[in-house]
Amino acid sequence: MGSGTKPARSLAAQERRFALALFVPALLVLLLTTTVPLVYLGWTSLQKLDMSMPWLSGFAGLGNYAKMGGDPRFWNSLVLTGVYTGTTVVLQVIIGLSLALLVLQIPKGQGLLRVAAILPIVLAPVVVGLFWRTLVLAPDFGLVDLVTRTVGLGSHNWLGDPQLALISVIAIHTWQWTPFAFLVLLATLATLPPDVYEAARLDRAGAWQRFWHITLPLIRPAIVMVVILRMMTALSAFAAIFAATGGGPGSATEILNLYAYRTSFTELNLGYGASLAMVLLSITMAISYLMFRLRRARS
Amino acid sequence: MTGRKPFRSLALAAVAGVGLAVWVFPVIWGLLTSFKTERDVLAYPPVWFFKPTLDNYREVIFGASSIMPNLWSSLVVSTSATFFTMLFAIPAAYALARLKYPAKRASGFYVLATQMLPPVGLIIPYYLALQKVGGLDTYSGLTLIYLTFSLPFAIWLMVSYFEDIPFEMEEAALLDRAGRLRTLWYVILPQVRGGIAVTTIFVFLNAWNEFMFAVVLGGNRVRPVTVAMFNFISVEQTQWAKVAAGAMLAMLPVILIGLFAQRHIVKGLTVGAVKGGGRR
């Protein structure tokens, strides 16, 4: 070793060959299973491809994209996507962080709470949607109605009324994924050095000040990470909404992801569905790019 | 000050308890419902004490609407997806974590980017392509599309485990003129056994819970249990007890897995994001 450049170079070449032999198979699989299909998706989005009217199929150029401009259902889905993603992410972070801060103060039983938090996360979203549709939100017999009837607020059609349905699907998503924010933030808070708090306490900083000026800046990377991951999940949320409302009533809970799905597989208009999926793809990519840039600038 | 402390911690525990009961209660309620008769389900006010029945389970296991074939479908798809995922992910992750090769950073970023793809963007081309080659309603079709979300995930999770091993071990092995492949097989892999187990578990769990791909690309032959649950509710609108029994059966594996792997769950959930994009 180190006796000359030649063996070192051949060693590096050997390492490179070995690395490529290990990495290239997975790379090829990813190219074939994700990137090639995406190119095909882009191509499909330029076609008129309606399975209910197959005789009209053909190249449409940017026709599908132009159609979106005058499609109120598209704009509605875009707004709903914003509302759904924004509200669920904010709720998850606020509730998750508050709970984590609270639980951290409890000397015993943290392990038990952690186990409880895992339960919603491991359940299949479609089962969660079904559970809520039947046992939790059904009029008259659901858990929520039992509570509202007991306290005198009366029975409501939680999934049948357009506004309540939107609130309901937001609640379902928040229920299932807040444990994620809670667990990640709890783990982060537990790693903070205790001496900074001691110093602050000696400075007679109040609890709120300590949180705002010490804790929050320290856990900001974790919060940003939670926000990124939760946004990705919310943008492509599907099964729970599909099982609970199917996107309805009407299109009251039809976020862009569901609109693209319904257009493609309920109305069988795969060309237009593909262009909607392309829009969702661009939004997802743009957001993750911005978030990563933001995070790298900070750190 | 000292007099208020027990009260304060009691109040804290109460608030946290309520918050967490909200997560557990619907599941407990589902479990109770699965042992009720359909009449008890619709009783008002709800009954806490009732004569438990196993009829619902008997029905979803042996009855006309048995979900056993669906559990089998889920098992086959999830197992094969997990097998192929690990087969490609482990070597790739080792290269990404430990070795030098051209365009390494870009390739790591590429893997991460594929993890961000919205499934609806993949399902349309897969549907069209599989329809052409007769691949709809087949295990291989579903397995293939499951790789799209499990492979990037598994690669990044395995990278984090490979990075935890001390460099000295493989250097010592390499100095002993053990070949690189032998070093990987006999020295490195035994070190990441735990990581392989955790990754396998998560890949399996995600495949088991998948719904959108299964509902579009599956059919009468290949119908995973998530799709069966969905069909259940549309066909048997009011038979909640049976739905609950089916759901409990379908979710039993993932609940057990979750409890078993609970200490690793945070790592599994945040994989890639911790270092993603910012790797050197």
ipTM of the complex: 0.89
C-alpha to C-alpha distance for A210 and A208, rounded to whole angstroms: 5
* pLDDT at residue B278 tops 70: no
* C-alpha to C-alpha distances, B278 to A255, B105, B273, nearest whole angstrom: 31, 9, 9
The first and second tokens of residue A52, run together, are 């209910």
* pLDDT at residue B279 tops 70: no
Residue B127 lies in a domain: yes
Give the distance from residue A33's alpha carbon to the nearest chain B alpha carbon, in angstroms.
6
Question: What domains appear along chain A, each with residue ranges and CATH number?
Answer: 5-59 (no CATH), 68-298 (1.10.3720.10)
* pLDDT at residue B275 tops 50: no
Would you give the distance in Å from CA A28 to the centre of its chain? Answer: 27
pLDDT computed for residue B148 by the predictor? 95
Arithmetic mean of pLDDT, A22-46:
96
**Residues A20 and B94: beta-carbon distance below 8 Å:** no
pLDDT computed for residue B271 by the predictor? 67
B34, B71, B100, B101, best to mutate vs chain A, most A CBs in 10 Å: B101
pLDDT computed for residue A7 by the predictor? 66
B23 touches chain A (CB under 8 A): yes
pLDDT computed for residue A298 by the predictor? 60
Helices (H), chain A: 5-30, 36-44, 63-69, 72-104, 110-122, 125-131, 143-150, 162-190, 194-202, 207-210, 216-235, 239-244, 256-265, 270-298
The tally of domains found in chain B comes to: 1
pLDDT-based confidence at B276, cuts 50/70/90? Answer: very low
**Residues B92 and A31: beta-carbon distance below 8 Å:** no
pLDDT tens string B212-253: 999 999 999 999 999 998 888 766 566 788 889 999 999 999
* pLDDT at residue A9 tops 60: yes
Residue B216 lies in a domain: no
C-alpha to C-alpha distance for A262 and A251, rounded to whole angstroms: 11
The first and second tokens of residue A206, run together, are 């109040």
pLDDT computed for residue A41 by the predictor? 96
pLDDT-based confidence at A3, cuts 50/70/90? Answer: very low
Listed residue (A12, A15, A23) closest to B95, CA to CA: A23
Q: Poorest-confidence range of A168-182, B33-47, B143-157, B168-182? A: B168-182
The string over B133-159, giving b where at least 16 C-beta atoms fall within 10 Å of a residue's C-beta and e elsewhere, is: eebbebbebbbbbbbbbbbbbbbbbbb
The verdict on whether omega for the bond into residue B119 sits within 30 degrees of 0, i.e. cis, is no
pLDDT-based confidence at A4, cuts 50/70/90? Answer: very low
Burial class (CB in 10 A: 0-12, 13-18, 19+), A286: exposed
The first and second tokens of residue A151, run together, are 């306290």
B233 touches chain A (CB under 8 A): yes
Inter-chain residue contact B269 with A121, CB threshold 8 Å: yes
Residue B181 lies in a domain: yes
Listed residue (A204, A210, A202) closest to A101, CA to CA: A210
Strand partners of residue A269: A50
Please report where in the chains the tokens 């980017």 appear, as a residue: B113
Listed residue (A50, A31, A6) closest to A263, CA to CA: A50
* pLDDT at residue B277 tops 70: no
* pLDDT at residue A1 tops 50: no
**Residues A237 and A83: beta-carbon distance below 8 Å:** no
Mean pLDDT of chain B: 86
Give the distance from residue B45's alpha carbon to the nearest chain A alpha carbon, in angstroms.
8
Task: Give the residue, A148 or B148, on which the prediction is more confident.
Answer: B148
**Residues B73 and B225: beta-carbon distance below 8 Å:** yes
pLDDT computed for residue A39 by the predictor? 97
Beta carbons within 8 Å of A126's beta carbon, 6+ residues apart? A239, A240, A242, A243, B209, B211, B226, B229, B230
Radius of gyration of chain A (CA): 25
pLDDT tens string A120-166: 999 999 999 998 988 888 877 788 888 888 888 888 888 988 999 99
C-alpha to C-alpha distance for B74 and B204, rounded to whole angstroms: 10
Q: Which residues of A touch B30 (CB under 8 A)?
A: 131, 135
* pLDDT at residue B171 tops 80: no
Residue of chain A minimizing CA distance to B244: A131
pLDDT over 90, % of chain B: 46
Residue B11 lies in a domain: no
pLDDT computed for residue A174 by the predictor? 96
Arithmetic mean of pLDDT, A102-111:
79
pLDDT computed for residue B151 by the predictor? 96
Q: What's the angle, vertex CA A136, arms to CA A135 and CA A138, rounded to 5?
A: 75
Mean pLDDT of chain A: 88
Using DSSP, state whether A48 is helix, strand or coil. Answer: strand
Residue B39 lies in a domain: no
C-alpha to C-alpha distance for B257 and B262, rounded to whole angstroms: 8
C-alpha to C-alpha distance for B156 and B94, rounded to whole angstroms: 10
* pLDDT at residue B59 tops 70: yes
Task: Indicate the residue of B118, B129, B270 with minimum beta-carbon distance to A184.
Answer: B270
Strand partners of residue A47: A59
* pLDDT at residue A52 tops 60: yes
pLDDT computed for residue B84 by the predictor? 98
* pLDDT at residue B1 tops 70: no
Region at B103 (left for phi over 0; alpha for psi -120 to 50; beta for the rest): left
Q: Which residues of B touch A33 (CB under 8 A)?
A: 144-145, 147-148, 151
Residue B10 lies in a domain: no
C-alpha to C-alpha distance for B90 and A23, rounded to whole angstroms: 9
C-alpha to C-alpha distance for A260 and A272, rounded to whole angstroms: 8
Q: How many CB atoms sit inside 10 A of residue B47's CB?
A: 13
Residue B34 lies in a domain: no
DSSP B48: S
Residue B117 lies in a domain: yes
The full 3-state SS of B123-183, as one line of letters, equals HHHHHHHHHHCCCCCCHHHHHHHHHHHHHHHHHHHHHHHHCCCCHHHHHHHHHCCCCHHHH
Arithmetic mean of pLDDT, B248-277:
76
User: Which of B:48-87 have CB within 8 Å of A?
Assistant: none
Task: Give the residue, B96 or B259, on which the prediction is more confident.
Answer: B96
Would you give the distance in Å from CA B31 to the centre of its chain? Answer: 21
Give the distance from residue A92's alpha carbon to the nearest chain B alpha carbon, in angstroms.
13
Amino acid letter for position A261: Y
Full residue range of the structural domain in which residue B166 is found? 72-209+253-269
Burial class (CB in 10 A: 0-12, 13-18, 19+), A116: buried
CATH code, domain with B176: 1.10.3720.10
The first and second tokens of residue A283, run together, are 């939004």
pLDDT computed for residue A89 by the predictor? 97
The first and second tokens of residue B19, run together, are 């918050």
Region at A227 (left for phi over 0; alpha for psi -120 to 50; beta for the rest): alpha
Listed residue (B216, B268, B186, B218) closest to B77, CA to CA: B218
The first and second tokens of residue A7, run together, are 């063996």
pLDDT computed for residue A47 by the predictor? 92
The verdict on whether omega for the bond into residue A217 sits within 30 degrees of 0, i.e. cis, is no
Listed residue (A79, A71, A85, A127) closest to A252, CA to CA: A79
